[in-house]
């Protein structure tokens, strides 16, 4: 059984009196910065002058300086910009200015594992990854709880890297909810696999294929939408709240029996073999090389596939049906994790 770290395991002195620079003031960055400040840490935000991040951080009451200056001041830099920006931001703004013995922190290990960042040998390199979107990380912190988090050490130049990661995790509410120690490689590879094979790639393809199967068989697109996409939230919510056990408790006997006899016909050994191929491409770096090359080329295939996804018939049917769902109209836009 994996150990779960809580507040009693934290050495808060590891970051006491330290200056934490948050670079990247999006969903996660804004939540981390506010939580850390409310936990008593000294936080500065590094941002481009005149940009949206600078305006928002100043409105939130932070001292905002250029990224290079933030790195000069910092004992720990939390690099929370999108993965594909890490190489440039680190090389041009952070590495030349981060002092010996300081720490670099990321919330996802992609740029370190796939060597978009090659850290100097005289700094600590750590990871803290809350398992939820920034809005939830902030809300749970504000009510005295937290979001479970992962933490890891990639490079320990000072002998205190692990203590710094746990202290940061605690300041963000992670050890209030419970934190699990991992490695950069494990966090990165499992995160990418989950996104591709299950959460984003797998789920959307399953939904789209189910919809197409029903429509091709002559059923109304609107009815197919409800059965293959709309009701998915009900099932996912039950599993999120209580695993398979809660879902099976609340669905009908007919649904349970259909689950048992037909689920393995759809997700079978062939499917799992394809999942293994996805994982292998992540483990051997093929996916990372492809994604980095796509970015460097200006993302033409990415844009084409995105457009293609949004032009699927299920999207057009869903957009029309959702205008009749009053409860959706007042909801805030969801964030990605």
Rounded Cα gap, residues 112 and 309, in angstroms: 30
Shared domain for 83 and 205, answered yes or no, is no
Within a domain: 40: yes
Shared domain for 214 and 244, answered yes or no, is yes
Print the domain residue range for 127. 4-182
Shared domain for 124 and 204, answered yes or no, is no
The pLDDT assigned to 2 comes to 87
The pLDDT assigned to 337 comes to 44
- Among residues 12, 32, 86, 108, the one annotated as catalytic is 108
Task: Identify whether the C-beta of residue 111 lies closer than 8 Å to the C-beta of residue 81.
Answer: no
Shared domain for 88 and 137, answered yes or no, is yes
Provide the annotated binding site for NADP(+).
Answer: 25-28, 48, 134
The pLDDT assigned to 329 comes to 81
Nearest to 46 by CA among 18, 78, 17, 16: 78
Task: Identify whether the C-beta of residue 65 lies closer than 8 Å to the C-beta of residue 10.
Answer: no
Task: Identify whether the C-beta of residue 156 lies closer than 8 Å to the C-beta of residue 124.
Answer: yes
Q: How many domains does one find in the chain?
A: 2
Nearest to 23 by CA among 119, 105, 130, 123: 105
Task: Identify whether the C-beta of residue 127 lies closer than 8 Å to the C-beta of residue 154.
Answer: yes
Nearest to 131 by CA among 229, 14, 28, 222: 28
3-state SS assignment for residue 228: helix
Task: Identify whether the C-beta of residue 244 lies closer than 8 Å to the C-beta of residue 231.
Answer: no
Shared domain for 171 and 217, answered yes or no, is no
3-state SS assignment for residue 272: helix
What number of residues does the chain have? 337
Within a domain: 255: yes
Within a domain: 216: yes
pLDDT tens track for 305-331:
999 999 999 999 999 999 999 989 866
Provide the annotated binding site for substrate.
Answer: 252
The pLDDT assigned to 35 comes to 98
Residue 108 annotated among the catalytic residues of the structure = yes
Residues of the chain with pLDDT under 50: 336-337
């Amino acid at each position: 059984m994996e150990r779960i770290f809580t507040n009693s395991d934290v050495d808060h002195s590891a970051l006491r009196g330290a200056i934490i620079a948050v670079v990247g003031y999006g969903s996660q960055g804004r939540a981390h910065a506010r939580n850390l400040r409310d936990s008593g840490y000294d936080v500065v935000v590094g941002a481009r002058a005149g940009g949206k991040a600078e305006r928002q951080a100043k409105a939130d009451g932070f001292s905002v300086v250029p990224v290079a200056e933030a790195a000069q001041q910092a004992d720990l830099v939390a690099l929370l910009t999108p993965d594909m920006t890490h190489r440039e931001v680190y090389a041009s703004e952070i590495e030349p200015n981060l002092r010996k013995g300081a720490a670099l922190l990321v919330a996802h290990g992609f740029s370190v594992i796939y060597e978009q960042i090659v850290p100097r040998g005289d700094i600590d390199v750590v990871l803290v990854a809350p398992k939820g979107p920034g809005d939830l990380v902030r809300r749970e912190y504000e009510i005295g709880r937290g979001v479970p988090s992962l933490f890891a050490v990639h490079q320990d130049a000072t002998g205190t890297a692990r203590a710094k990661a746990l202290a940061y995790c605690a300041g963000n509410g992670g050890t209030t909810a419970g934190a699990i120690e991992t490695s950069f490689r494990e966090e990165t590879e499992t995160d990418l696999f989950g996104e591709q094979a299950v959460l984003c790639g797998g789920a959307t393809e399953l939904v789209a294929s189910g919809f197409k199967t029903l429509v091709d068989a002559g059923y109304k697109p609107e009815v197919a939408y409800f059965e293959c996409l709309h009701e998915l939230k009900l099932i996912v919510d039950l599993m999120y709240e209580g695993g398979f056990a809660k879902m099976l408790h609340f669905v009908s006997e007919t649904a349970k029996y259909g689950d048992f006899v037909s689920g393995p016909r759809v997700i079978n050994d062939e499917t799992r073999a394809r999942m293994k191929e996805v994982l292998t491409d992540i483990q051997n770096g093929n996916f990372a090389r492809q994604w980095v090359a796509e970015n460097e080329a200006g993302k033409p295939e990415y844009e084409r596939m995105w457009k293609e996804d949004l032009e699927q018939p299920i999207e057009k049917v869903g957009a029309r049906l959702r205008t009749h769902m009053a409860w959706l109209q007042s909801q805030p836009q969801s964030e990605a994790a």
